[in-house]
Amino acid sequence: MSTTWARRLYSLVFYLLSPLVWWRVWREWVPTHSRLERLGFVPETGGRPCLWLHAASFGEVVTATPLIRALLDDFPAHALVVTTMTRTGAERVQAIFGDRVRHHFLPLDYPLATRRFVARLDPQLAIVAETELWPNLLAACRRRRVPVVIVNGRLGASTYRFYRRFAALSRGMLTSIAWIGAKSPEDAERFTALGASAGRVTVTGALKFDLALDEGLADASETLRLSWGKRFVWIAGSTHAGEDEQVLAAHAQLRHHDPTALLILVPRHPQRFEAVETLCRERGESVVRFSENPSVNSAATVLLGDTMGDLMRLYGCADVAFVGGSLVPIGGHNLLEPAALGVPVVSGPHLESLREIAESLAEHQARLEVADADALAQVLIALHDDNERRLGLGAAGRAVVAANRGALARTRERIARVMHQK
């Protein structure tokens, strides 16, 4: 099948699925934005040349933050537009950048909506963070001669198999990409196998290694931690359903060893805050919500992280960090955030989304892996009792992050080159 007919068939299926699609995105909205943005109705950029960066959700926004700051410095004459698919991503963009960038929700991948969106923005360059590829959106960019680059590009095994099932559609998308900055050699090979030109794919490394630590972060974490008194504190960050139960079971075992131990539990999705608080109380824990009382009284056994944008500050308060999405088959979340702060990293085995990073940390004795709640409890108790080992794990993680920085510089250089060729 030709790439054109593959895209037409895809568009037909997308139209047929419209009720399901609209149901899914209806909640991904903030009051300052019109829902018509999902159909490409966005304001024009007012005559200024425009750069457009897409970061699908909260995690991608966090990863892309150093690059967004670099683009603001490198192209001060350009308006920078950042799009997201999710509400949490939109809120994170606003919290970090305010009016320094313009935010819109990405239009749904209808042919007319994507053409309208690209025509109104008229960007000189489109930048896609990681790998959210939409056939009609890329076709609209190609029609308007807008070069597209992929940064921090990754193709996990399951994503790669998915794209291979639709080879004609994938080939049509990737052959039009001006440049791909792949996270690893394996990602680069998968992009080229799907149809990307090998000469347009560069292994840059992971942008996550270049994460920027806000000034005053360490002091803010230390102040918060001191207000809790002398107690062992561990954090479970970005947890999912089915994982919270295991975390709480491990915490119960740890508290049997040390009744004063405090767990900071931070669910990945804000819509789960209430359910997780209820679960904690059902398990007999004394819960304090961070949004209500960050000081934490001595009777509290669980601090529920129920705010957005505070995860790094809370990681900095912990003696040990468990990173979620890894005891359940999600693929894992950002292991480098606690590592960059020198906090020992523990994870489950499900790390398909960041295998390279996970292996690098493990290779340098900077990550411990556990299979279940009992194993997690054993690791927590061991690290609780061994201060030297705990400090060594934290130092090793910080060293791995420092040694692998550089993806941001390589990405900036290639973006500048594409812009020069425009």
> Is 245 part of the annotated catalytic residue set?
no
d(CA 211, CA 391): 21
Q: Of 206, 289, 217, 275, give the one whose Cα is nearest residue 242.
A: 275
d(CA 387, CA 248): 23
Tell me 130's DSSP state: S
What residue type is 365 in one-letter code? Answer: Q
Residues whose CB is less than 8 angstroms from the CB of residue 230 and which lie 6 or more positions away in sequence, other chains included? none
User: Which residues partner with 52 through β-bridges?
Assistant: 81, 126
The label of the residue with tokens 């194993």 reads 375
Cα 208-390-305 angle, rounded to 5 deg:
55
d(CA 134, CA 107): 10
Count Cα neighbours of 343 within 13 Å in the Cβ-side half-sphere. Answer: 29
φ/ψ (deg, to 5) at 287: -105, 135
Chain mean position to CA 96: 15
CA dihedral 374, 240, 396, 387 (to 10 degrees): -40
Choice among 28, 37, 60, 285 that is catalytic = 60
d(CA 135, CA 169): 7
Where do the H-state alpha helices sit in 41-102? 58-74, 87-97
φ/ψ (deg, to 5) at 98: 55, -130
Q: Of 116, 148, 124, give the one whose Cα is nearest residue 38.
A: 116
- CB-count exposure of residue 95 (10 Å: 0-12, 13-18, 19+): exposed
The label of the residue with tokens 């963070």 reads 129
Q: Which residues are catalytic?
A: 60
